[in-house]
Structure 1
Amino acid sequence: MKGSPSVNGARLRAVTNWVFLRAAGDSRPRIIPSRTVFPAVRKLETVFPTLQAEVDALLKTRNIPKYGTFDPVRAAQVSEDWKLYYAYMFGRPNELARTELPSLLAFAESTPNVVNAFVSILDPKVPLPAHRDPYAGILRYHLGVRIPKDNPPRIRLERDYYTWREGEGTVLDVSHEHEVINESEEPRIIVIVDFRRPMGVFADLLNRYCLWQKRKWAPQFVEAAKYDVMHAA
């Protein structure tokens, strides 16, 4: 498809975001313990060693596409060098992930409020400048997979900071302005799981409908993972 799910339909998205943020309330913590809003993710955390091994194997066999490959409009606003591998996007699976990231895909498909599940890679010195997520109907869970020990990257959400740790997860409200500060000499690798923001009945129904409409964008994200396999010398 042409365009971007982050940019197209800006007027409608502004209205729905207003509804979602109003339903969420004025006091919206930026960094949230996962047990309070996403207890189901404990199932993923218990298989962390397996998930970490799957991600390691993935990176040895596949060149992970850059953001600009599948969403050049949004990438120009955030980062064209951010690398992403989508196992699950707007409720649609990447079939390759059944063998490449089976733990992550199984969790996504078995957890009803999951929207997206993917691997996020920032190469050394690649930052993400200040921005907000364009859609306020989700919260975002981060799980550290491979984090540089020296000068580890950190994320700023408004005035709060979080530094990733391997095997540790947390939930971030990325409707707040946020940026990644990365001065490390090794890649930062995390797993991200987007899930529906907990809200009242009306806002939740609207959110489900909007996310269902976004399913049309899934192919351009999951298909990008299929065409760049490393070939042994």
Structure 2
Amino acid sequence: MKGSPYLSNPRAQALSNWIFLRKAGGPNRRRIIPSHAVFPEVWELERKFPALQAEVDALLAGRSIPTYGTFDPERAAQVSEEWKLYYAYMFGNTNELAKKDLPTLLSFARSTPNVVNAFVSILEPGVTLPSHKDPYAGILRYHLGIRIPTDNPPRIRLADEYHQWKEGEGVVLDVSLEHEVVNDSSEPRVIVIVDFRRPMGPLAGLLNRYCLWQKRKFAPQFVEAAKYDVMH
């Protein structure tokens, strides 16, 4: 099925977002969060950082990574058509190539029940993610620095707070808040992103699971995009 998982059913999504954000603390909710405070499972991934970093390096050396506009043009038009993304896992759907390309990330995603998506994010020099909000509030987003330029290092602004990535260090961001990224360095910024279900009470949590289950039908277009784009 083609389309954007985060722009479909806008009225229903607006209602679910209202519920989720009330449970999360409304406008006073935390923006930039120590990862282990809300996502302690990620210790297991961070423990394997050298292997993960080597796998991502090999992926970028051997495969041309698709841009966001390749698989979600509707949403890419709002954010960036030049943002490069390689999905290993989305809404429970496995990219079969990731079994070879990113076994450490894929194994973590498949074995951690609250993980929704797991992917590599690349911002080439000069690429900007302009100010935007993620349309779905049922997830929190974990960032892990893989390759971060040291000359004029890029950073993310989340509302009125800033975070600068460091290699091997992770952080959780509430991307339902307005945020933007600019890479003014001369090198790519490479991170691993893991989306996981926002911790909430049982009823809101059940609604979140249902909403995410509904989005599974969009997953193949994200994982399939990587399968036919290999460097020769």
1:3 CA displacement: 2.2
Q: Which deviations, in whole Å up to 9, do the C-alpha atoms of 1:178-220 show, x marking residues without a partner? A: 0002211100000000000000000000000111111101000
What amino acid is the match of 1:199?
M
C-alpha RMSD of matched pairs (Å): 0.6
The yes-or-no answer on 1:82 pairing with 2:86 is no
Residue matched to 2:41: 40
Instruction: Name stretches of at least 5 consecutive residues in structure 1 with no aligned partner.
Output: none
Provide the rounded CA distance (Å) in 2 between the counterparts of 1:135 and 1:89: 15
Matched letter for residue 62 of structure 1: R
The corresponding residue for 2:60 is 59
Q: Which residue of 2 aligns with 1:111?
A: 112
Say whether the 8 Å CA contact 2:2–2:218 is kept in structure 1.
Answer: no
**Percent identity, aligned pairs only?**
74
Q: Give TM-score scaled by structure 2 length.
A: 0.98
Instruction: State yes or no: 1:227 paired with 2:231.
Output: no
Aligned to 2:206: 205
- What secondary structure is seen at the aligned counterpart in 2 of 1:57? helix
Counterparts of 1:116 and 1:147 in 2: how far apart (Å)?
Answer: 22
- Distance in 2, Cα, partners of 1:113 & 1:23: 17
Deviation at 1:4, TM superposition (A): 1.1
Provide the residue aligned with 2:25 in structure 1: 25
Letter in 1 for 2:3: G
Residue of structure 2 equivalent to 1:4: 4
Cα offset for 1:139? Answer: 0.1
**2:125 aligned partner:** 124
Letter matched to residue 214 of structure 2? Q
Match of 1:195 in 2: 196
1:97 CA drift (Å):
0.4
Tell me how far apart the structure 2 counterparts of residues 174 and 181 of structure 1 sit (CA, whole Å). Answer: 16
1:56-97: CA deviations, max 9, x gaps?
A: 000111100000000000000000000000000011111110
Match of 2:143 in 1: 142
Q: Does 1:179 align with 2:174?
A: no
Residue 141 of structure 1 aligns to a residue whose secondary structure is strand
Q: In 2, distance between residues paired with 1:173 and 1:104?
A: 21
Aligned residue number for residue 14 of structure 2: 14
Give runs of ≥4 in structure 1 deviating > 4 Å.
Answer: none
Q: Distance in 2 between matches of 1:5 and 1:215?
A: 8
The answer to whether the 8 A contact 2:125-2:185 is kept is: yes
Relative to the length of structure 1, the TM-score reads 0.98
- Equivalent position amino acid for 1:75 in 2: A
